[in-house]
Amino acid sequence: MYRFYKNPVRVKKNNYMENYCQSCGMPFDEGHTELIAKEPDGSDSFYCSFCYEDGKFLQPDITIGEMVEIGVPHLAHKIGEQAAREQLSKFVPTLKRWK
């Protein structure tokens, strides 16, 4: 899905590697490493700092559909609004937060 991003940075947690925020799908590439949220113990989280802080989701009641709509403008400038919505509608539900 996010084939547009080069040089992904993988967050390693519990021997599991992640390339994306496991809430919104933001890629953790070289341009986004500072946005990887931290757990209360200081370790890297599976989530970005827009979604997660101090061990808690910033929007705990957000729905998958609302998360998709938040992501659409960020991806739309590369592939168009309709394609972004379609891709995010398929991708976001596969992330850890939504399983």
pLDDT tens for each residue of 33-86: 889 999 999 998 999 999 999 999 999 999 999 999 999 999 999 999 999 999
Q: With cut-offs at 50, 70 and 90, classify the pLDDT of residue 11.
A: low
User: What pTM was computed for the model?
Assistant: 0.80
Phi and psi based region of residue 77 (left: phi greater than 0; alpha: psi -120 to 50; beta: remaining): alpha
Distance CA 14, CA 83 (A): 33
